[in-house]
Chains A and B, each alone.
Chain A
Amino acid sequence: MDPSDEVLCQRVAERDDVAFELLVSRYQQRAYRLAWSILRDADEARDVAQEVFIRLYKRAGSFGGRARFSTWFYRLVVNLSLDHQRRGRWWRRLVRDAGDDDDQPDLTTRLPAPTLDPIDTLEWERQTKRLWAAVDQLAPRQRAAVLLHVQEGLPTRDVAAALECSEATVRVHLHRALNALKKSLGKE
């Protein structure tokens, strides 16, 4: 039987490199995916994902086992991604204004094509592109709350643990985020 994430984390605290490799293989994609969703830059997301595991290796002893490992892990990813975003914001804005958006992926080309009328498909792609562009414009913690829920599938309790806030605060973030998206897409 495979050891649980919590058991592996305890072993990492005892400097068990095999346990560390196992945790990395289980969570590397999640770390990169969430970091990329927050940062929208593949190179930065790769760096942040590595930094998450380095931080995990150093602080495995502080996990404590009081919560699920996954929520503690998501907290690391969110905090490091938001910190990274705050540090590089002015620089990123400068580069983005000066250059084109080649680094930004064309979201619609990556999405699975729905089996609909081509006109509906085009409209759907257009709406989806606008929707995710609007998500990118949300305030950092609102965006993190939306991503943790819709992308990672976390319930409010786990989103609250990852964002280190109350469940009520998470619902406030989501309510404000959805209102902002609705306004941005002109559905009011």
Chain B
Amino acid sequence: MEHLTTDLIAYLMDELAPAERQRVEAHLAGCADCRDQRDSFRTLLDGLRASVPPPPEVHWGQWRAELRGRLEARAPWRRWLLRPVPAMLVAGLAASLIAVVWLGQERETSRTADRAPVEEVVLGDQFDFLRQYSLLERLDFLEDIDVIDQLDRLAPHGEG
């Protein structure tokens, strides 16, 4: 016959469902060893509950003062940051970093923009003859190659 183990603990702590409690009690009725075990455990638990030793006295006012001191001592760097001068220093440093990054980006953008007029001047120099034809000034010469090919057949005329 298998003896009770953890079921006996649950039984002694009154934590069994009714059906399980009945099953355990039925077993106890027929098992002397388990009844002895139940009685021993019950005596021990009752004895422990009745004799819990109280701890030594504590001066709670002093204990709480120490606790407050330990709490304050644990986060000195956070509290330092919240003071006016360090907070301004950190804010100033952050603003300087942002300014450096922003100015750097602005300079990069202006360099890119300056490139376009130079390229246009170079291209324009290569097509110097186009300045003599007002018609061609209105064309997108990169797309209308056919007109350019037949430039020599066009006679210069007045504005119209």
A42, A135, A175, A181: the one contacting B5 at CB < 8 Å is: A175
A54, A132, A168: the one contacting B51 at CB < 8 Å is: A132
Please classify how large the interface on chain B is, using the bins under 10, 10 to 19, 20 to 34, 35 or more. 20 to 34
B8, B52, B53: the one contacting A175 at CB < 8 Å is: B8
Interface string of B60-81 (1 = CB under 8 A from A): 1001101100110010000000
Please give me the residue from chain A that is nearest to B74 by CB atom.
Answer: A54
Please classify how large the interface on chain A is, using the bins under 10, 10 to 19, 20 to 34, 35 or more. 35 or more
A145-164 interface with B by 8 A CB criterion: 146, 149-151, 155-156
Choose, from B42-50, B91-99, B142-150, the stretch at the interface: B42-50
A39-83 interface with B by 8 A CB criterion: 42, 45-46, 49-50, 53-54, 57
User: Interface SS of chain A: helix, strand, loop or mixed?
Assistant: helix
A62: min CB distance to chain B, Å: 17
Knowing A111-B51, A156-B15 are in contact, say whether A50-B56 is a contact too (CB < 8 A): no
- Residues on A with beta carbons closer than 8 Å to the beta carbon of B58: 32, 42, 46
Q: Which of B8, B54, B66 has the most CB of A within 10 A?
A: B54
Q: Does A27 have its Cβ within 8 Å of any Cβ on chain B?
A: no
Q: Does B109 have its Cβ within 8 Å of any Cβ on chain A?
A: no
Check if A156 sits within 8 Å of B10, measured CB to CB.
yes
Check if A57 sits within 8 Å of B54, measured CB to CB.
no
B16: min CB distance to chain A, Å: 11
- Residues on B with beta carbons closer than 8 Å to the beta carbon of A150: 45, 48-49, 52
Check if A178 sits within 8 Å of B45, measured CB to CB.
yes
- Residues on B with beta carbons closer than 8 Å to the beta carbon of A33: 54-55
- Residues on B with beta carbons closer than 8 Å to the beta carbon of A37: 55
Q: Does A172 have its Cβ within 8 Å of any Cβ on chain B?
A: yes
Q: Which of B13, B52, B64, B66 has the most CB of A within 10 A?
A: B52
Q: Does A121 have its Cβ within 8 Å of any Cβ on chain B?
A: no
- Residues on A with beta carbons closer than 8 Å to the beta carbon of B48: 131-132, 135, 146, 150
4 closest Cβ pairs, A-B complex: A171-B6, A36-B55, A150-B48, A42-B56
A residues contacting B by CB (< 8 A) are 24, 28, 32-33, 36-37, 42, 45-46, 49-50, 53-54, 57, 105, 107, 110-111, 127-128, 131-132, 135, 146, 149-151, 155-156, 168, 171-172, 174-175, 178, 181-182, 187
Given A50-B66, A54-B71, A132-B48, 13 additional A-B pairs, CB 8 A: A24-B64, A32-B55, A42-B55, A53-B67, A54-B70, A105-B55, A110-B53, A131-B51, A156-B10, A156-B15, A174-B9, A175-B5, A182-B41
> Can you show 5 pairs from A to B with CB atoms below 8 A apart?
A32-B55, A110-B53, A150-B52, A172-B6, A182-B44
